[in-house]
Amino acid sequence: MALHCYSPFSVLSQFRGSKGNRVIICADLLSALLLRAIGQKLQKSYRMNLRPLGVLRSSQDRGILPCGDIAALVYLWNPFTILSCVGLSTSPIENLAVIVSLYGAVTRRVPLAAFGLIMATHLSLYSAPLVFPLIFLLGYGLDAPPIKKFLQTRHGGVETGSTSDVSKQEKLTPTTQLPFSWRTVLHFVFWVLVWSSYVLVLCSLSLKQYGGLEEMFKRTYGFILRIEDLSPNIGVFWYFFAEAFEFSRNYLLIIFNLYILLTSIPSLMFRLKHRPCFLAFAYLAFTSILKSYPSVGDAALYLSLWALFVNELTDMEYSFFIFCGYIGFSLLSPVMHNFWIWRGTGNANFYFGNAMGYACFQFMFVEKSVNAMLNHDQALKKATAEMTKNLAITVIF
Amino acid sequence: MASLLRSLFLLLIVQSFLVAIAFGSNEVEEFSEALLLKPLPDRKVLAHFHFENRAPPSNSHGLHHHLFPKAISQLVQKFRVKEMELSFTQGRWNHEHWGGFDPLSSMNAKPVGVELWAVFDVPQSQVDTSWKNLTHALSGLFCASINFLESSTSYAAPTWGFGPNSNKLRYGSLPREAVCTENLTPWLKLLPCRDKDGISALMNRPSVYRGFYHSQRLHLSTVESGQEGLGSGIMLEQTLTVVLQPDTTSVESNMQPSWSLSSLFGRKVVGRCVLAKSSNVYLQLEGLLGHGSKNVDTEIEAHGLWKNADFELSLKPERVLRESSSFLFIFDIDKSSDSEPFDLGLTWNLPSKWSCQQAPLHASRFLMGSGNERGAIAILLKATESQEKLSGRDLTNGQCTIKANIFQIFPWYIKVYYHTLQIFVDQQQKTDSEVLKKINVSPSTDKVSSGMMEMMLELPCEVKSVAISIEYDKGFLHIDEYPPDANQGFDIPSALISFPNHHASLDFQEELNKSPLLSSFKEKSLVRSYTEVLLVPLTTPDFSMPYNVITITCTIFALYFGSLLNVLRRRIGEEERFLKSQGKKTGGLKQLLSRITAKIRGRPIEEQSSSESPAAQSSVLSSKLIFKIILVAGAAAAWQYFSTDK
């Protein structure tokens, strides 16, 4: 009888699932397209930034990898994306919202950027601090080597500028000046306010009968921040808060929520403000480790954003080691889960140890990427210094 | 002085007289005791003790009582309890053999552990507070952990699925509660004679707890007087139901065992409780239709029943009452004395067989699925044989239907997906609208409230089996929320299946003596049956190492933060400069010179130093290399020399 009852269930639930699948596939494809567009923009600006530095000649342009295509392919073919699509997770939709906001900022469509940000925040609270990278993106423009170096090169360029062609100079000026365009940012803030009030009004109208906005905040953001659900996921907090003592729970909650906010945002912001897209990547990667309920869909997002910087990050350290670590832990994780939950032969520590190791590798990945990006900037500086020296030598002789 | 004393004395007399008048004007408090014995088809004997205590509505109500336990009346007054039932049960009622369609089973077949329900007479907003206070009071009164029902995760507010329809009803049960003498002793304390005298003297603890099933119940209801100014009367009904296995000496397996009170309980009734208004012993024999069909309408013929070919009673009954399918022998224990104790015995002479009346559907419940992540609960209702004989069917639209209410509480860590509810009638899946007449669901909230499901099924009479299944996910608890033996699993309280169109009652035609037991049998009671308690194993975290988890996690976070900060605040240019300055510490003068020249030239220092270093390095490297080669060659030559020497 038990079998009789149970067997039709699974078939039905599979059938029921196929309806939602289409929406998620569309979201994935759309985010891949947008990623490609972002990548093309970034590639263009990368080429434009490198050319005046003399690192790159127009004939050598083939050396630049098409990062947009790579990122889109990384997103679509990532096993994590496929998993979250097959598993009917909502993370593809959250990812789409994040990518829409980045796309809007990159193409300077301010209302679109604000809309993406608000939707992403509405869907998962952790996207809210993306507002800083977006403001930088709108204020300073696309990713570029640091200002100091630019000014330096421009200086050198002006000195020797008598012979160089004028059109190139003109092309440089909008990016080299790097003024913080307050107008765009204010425009963005205005649109953020418009969209957020729009979403809040809609929510309050639809939730009028069920306790209103207060209830919604308590049930959604409160649920995220208070880590009430302790079922196992690929993060570390479920087990931490299942084991942590009840009397220190509130203290630890405050500490860890502040940890996400205070350790990642300000320090990264100071060093990476000239590269807002990379800042967005670093922040997303960081939150996907420290989220209260992380999923593999988050990893898919930041890995594809990482692929946007393949040109800059070619010299990343330990990349093979980290790659192997990712593969190893993502294969071990289901095994340990099966041991613990289904077979009962394993212990909770097996799975938690695995989650811990995965978090370590993610931490290492973020750290090494940031390191590689800073090294790249340093290398650019060196190259420009050499170029100015050469120019100076030519001037002297 | 003397006159003063006299006047005082007079005053006292007058006062006592007045008090007597006041009491005389009302009904007096009544206590009655009864014991019902009933042989069961599966060679067991059921003993049902019934004590009823009535406090009439009065002005002085609650302040002074003669017989009524003060603790209970204070409880009723304080928490304004309208109706309440508390039961402690161990063992499971066997519906197939012990009956499922008589008042005895529908009232006394209770779920394992503690079950408590109460209806309050307070405003809707105060019901929960009253319930919480009541659970604490009862917990102290009965030495049981009823206070665990205080938390909102363990009780529910059924609307119609549980018997009485009221929105001030709260229901909770503790399946894990162990029931023992410590719960029986305070229960006995509420009786005026305790267990010293009367029928309750039979309650020998070892024999009571040796039984297959025992359930002690306390039912409390207030009776509104209807008069202004008068409080409400309270009716307290205490029952103890025990199923015992008589010691069999006969070898024949098909012979029913013979027993007597002394062999069952190891004690005899010496006399009645003097405070009791009535104290009777009843013996109910079912399935003696062979005799019943003949002619036992008159009392005289009935008297001949107690000694016949089939069985023999050791005492002559006072009266014999007859119901459609059973006989009731009534004994009065007034006549017993110390020299001649009341010891009723039943001796079977011939093998006899009979069966009990059963509820229209037999309910059982089980778990499906494996692993610790998800599963499903299934409730299986099977048609019983006696279904055809039963009345109480509902003929709607010319179709014969049976109505069945299912009431089920889910603890919050059983996260039920109500959309997965499936109903199979005779192995065929039915849509909800076909069989489901009404459903009321209140979903659970994590760590706040338990979920509840009430549904009313309308089934065709010729149904053979109904299976209801619902899927769930198992929750993960905090380390402190697990009980000490966490790996044993968690209990899901029994589901209650009741049949709103079926009422059980035993109507003994003669209504001469107003025995409370018989009158309670005569009332139509809802046919209900409880299912088994389910044991759900939940995944456990490692209980031994919270410190390890906390320290390791925090260490990793700190390490990460340190390394990220290190990367961010690093200046590679300066580092290189520092390294070079360290490398050239030996040639201080040279370095100084180079610095000066660099300053004069206005160029960075790195250029010069870097142009110098490779050559120096290469020379050092080459000399080292030559040294190494010589060393290896020497070693090889020595080896060659020594090896050839030997």
Q: Give the 3-state DSSP-derived string for B303-348, with helices as H, strands as E and coil as C.
A: HHHHECCCEEECCCCCEEEECCCEEEEEEEHHHCCCCCCECCEEEE
Q: Looking at the complex, report in whole angstroms how far the Cα of residue B170 sits from the nearest Cα belonging to chain A.
A: 24
Would the pLDDT of B431 be above 50?
A: yes
Once rounded to an integer, what is the mean pLDDT over residues A137-147? 80
Going by pLDDT thresholds of 50, 70 and 90, the confidence category of residue B132 is very high
Measured between beta carbons, which residues in chain A are less than 8 angstroms from residue B539? 340-341, 348
Distance in angstroms (rounded) separating the CA atoms of residues B273 and B195: 9
Size of interface A-B (CB pairs under 8 A): 128
Q: For residue B438, what are the contacts with CB-CB under 8 A and spacing of at least 6?
A: B160, B454, B455, B456
Distance in angstroms (rounded) separating the CA atoms of residues B403 and B392: 10
Contact B469 A270 (CB under 8 A): no
Measured between beta carbons, which residues in chain B are less than 8 angstroms from residue A255? none
Once rounded to an integer, what is the mean pLDDT over residues B509-536? 82
Measured between beta carbons, which residues in chain A are less than 8 angstroms from residue B420? 9, 13
Interface pTM (ipTM) of the complex?
Answer: 0.83
Q: Which segment of B40-49, B232-241, B394-403, B519-528 scores lowest on mean pLDDT? A: B394-403
Would the pLDDT of A181 be above 90?
A: no
Give which of A243, A259, A237 is closest to A356, Cα–Cα: A237
Q: Which segment of A176-185, A327-336, B242-251, B338-347 scores lowest on mean pLDDT? A: A176-185
Contact A367 B564 (CB under 8 A): yes
Which of B422, B468, B544, B549 to mutate: most A Cβ within 10 Å? B549
Task: Give the type of residue at A344.
Answer: G
Over residues A106-141, the pLDDT tens digits come to 999 999 999 999 999 999 899 999 999 999 999 888
Top mean pLDDT of A140-144, A324-328, B276-280, B602-606 is at: A324-328
Strand-strand pairing, B451-460 and B399-410: antiparallel
Structure-token pair, residue A162: 């008598």
Q: Looking at the complex, report in whole angstroms how far the Cα of residue B509 sits from the nearest Cα belonging to chain A.
A: 45
Distance in angstroms (rounded) separating the CA atoms of residues A255 and A237: 12
Structure-token pair, residue B434: 């076909």
Contact B479 A243 (CB under 8 A): yes
Going by pLDDT thresholds of 50, 70 and 90, the confidence category of residue B226 is low
Give which of B593, B581, B598, B474 is closest to B538, Cα–Cα: B474
Name which of B372, B560, B564 is nearest A344 (Cβ-Cβ): B372
Going by pLDDT thresholds of 50, 70 and 90, the confidence category of residue A345 is confident
User: Cα(first)–Cα(last) distance of chain B, in Å?
Assistant: 142
Q: Which helix (H) or strand (E) holds A322?
A: helix A319-337
Touching A: B residues 237-256, CB under 8 Å: none
Average pLDDT, chain A: 83
Q: Is A121 left (phi over 0), alpha (psi -120 to 50) or beta?
A: alpha
Q: Which segment of A182-191, B280-289, B423-432 scores lowest on mean pLDDT? A: B280-289
Q: Is B607 on the interface with A (CB under 8 A)?
A: yes
Would the pLDDT of B82 be above 50?
A: yes
In the beta sheet, which residues pair with residue B90? Answer: B214
Going by pLDDT thresholds of 50, 70 and 90, the confidence category of residue A5 is very low
Distance in angstroms (rounded) separating the CA atoms of residues B604 and A381: 14
Measured between beta carbons, which residues in chain A are less than 8 angstroms from residue B546? 243-245
Measured between beta carbons, which residues in chain A are less than 8 angstroms from residue B550? 240, 243-244
Name which of A349, A359, A370 is nearest B564 (Cβ-Cβ): A370
Total Cβ atoms within 10 A of residue A116: 26
Q: What secondary structure letter does DSSP report for B248?
A: P
Q: For residue B44, what are the contacts with CB-CB under 8 A and spacing of at least 6?
A: B97, B98, B212, B243, B244, B245, B246
Distance in angstroms (rounded) separating the CA atoms of residues B104 and B368: 33
Residue A164: what pLDDT? 39
Contact A2 B366 (CB under 8 A): yes
Q: Which residue of chain A has the CA closest to B540?
A: A348
Top mean pLDDT of A2-6, B55-59, B340-344, B411-415 is at: B411-415
Contact B479 A340 (CB under 8 A): no
The tokens 């929510």 sit on which residue? A203
Over residues B580-638, the pLDDT tens digits come to 877 655 556 666 676 776 666 665 544 444 444 444 455 556 788 888 999 999 999 99
According to the 3-state scheme, what is the secondary structure of B529-560? EECCCEEECCCCCCCCCHHHHHHHHHHHHHHH
Give which of A208, A183, A188 is closest to A135, Cα–Cα: A188
Q: Looking at the complex, report in whole angstroms how far the Cα of residue B546 sits from the nearest Cα belonging to chain A.
A: 5
Contact B244, B212 (CB under 8 A): yes
According to the 3-state scheme, what is the secondary structure of B487-543? HHCEEECCCEEEEEEEEECCCCCCCCCCCHHHHHHHCCEEEEEECCCEEECCCCCCC
Name which of A9, A244, A246 is nearest B471 (Cβ-Cβ): A9
Q: Is B558 on the interface with A (CB under 8 A)?
A: no
Q: Is B610 on the interface with A (CB under 8 A)?
A: no
Going by pLDDT thresholds of 50, 70 and 90, the confidence category of residue B434 is confident
Touching B: A residues 322-381, CB under 8 Å: 340-344, 347-349, 352, 356, 359-360, 363, 366-367, 370-371, 374-375, 378, 381
Contact B476 A231 (CB under 8 A): yes
Query: Contacts for A255-259 with beta carbons within 8 Å, 24 or more apart?
Result: A256/A290, A257/A225, A259/A290, A259/B557, A259/B561
Q: Is A242 on the interface with B (CB under 8 A)?
A: yes
Rounded-to-10 torsion of CA B19, B21, B25, B30: 60
Total Cβ atoms within 10 A of residue A68: 23
Touching A: B residues 388-447, CB under 8 Å: 420, 422, 424, 427, 429, 446-447
Contact B542 A348 (CB under 8 A): yes
Task: Give the type of residue at B159.
Answer: T
Give which of B462, B465, B466, B461 is closest to B395, Cα–Cα: B461
Query: Phi and psi for B161 in degrees, rounded to 5?
Result: -70, -30
Three-state DSSP state, B618: helix
Residue A148: what pLDDT? 56
Q: Which helix (H) or strand (E) holds B213?
A: strand B213-223
Q: Which helix (H) or strand (E) holds B238?
A: strand B233-244
Name which of A5, A359, A363 is nearest B368 (Cβ-Cβ): A5
Q: Which segment of A59-68, A179-188, B119-128 scores lowest on mean pLDDT? A: A59-68
Contact A342 B373 (CB under 8 A): yes
Q: Looking at the complex, report in whole angstroms how far the Cα of residue B577 sits from the nearest Cα belonging to chain A.
A: 13
Residue B217: what pLDDT? 94
Once rounded to an integer, what is the mean pLDDT over residues A32-44? 93
Measured between beta carbons, which residues in chain A are less than 8 angstroms from residue B475? 230-231
Residue B198: what pLDDT? 87
Residue B169: what pLDDT? 92
Give which of B398, B395, B467 is closest to B426, Cα–Cα: B467
Total Cβ atoms within 10 A of residue B385: 10
Q: Is B475 on the interface with A (CB under 8 A)?
A: yes
Query: Phi and psi for B287 in degrees, rounded to 5?
Result: 70, 20
Query: Contacts for A241-250 with beta carbons within 8 Å, 24 or more apart?
Result: A241/B478, A242/B476, A242/B477, A242/B478, A242/B479, A242/B541, A243/B479, A243/B541, A243/B542, A243/B545, A243/B546, A243/B549, A243/B550, A244/B546, A244/B549, A244/B550, A245/B546, A246/B478, A246/B480
Q: For residue B368, what are the contacts with CB-CB under 8 A and spacing of at least 6?
A: A2, A5, A6, B375, B376, B377, B378, B469
Distance in angstroms (rounded) separating the CA atoms of residues A98 and A104: 10
Name which of A8, A341, A342 is nearest B429 (Cβ-Cβ): A8
Distance in angstroms (rounded) separating the CA atoms of residues B551 and A242: 14
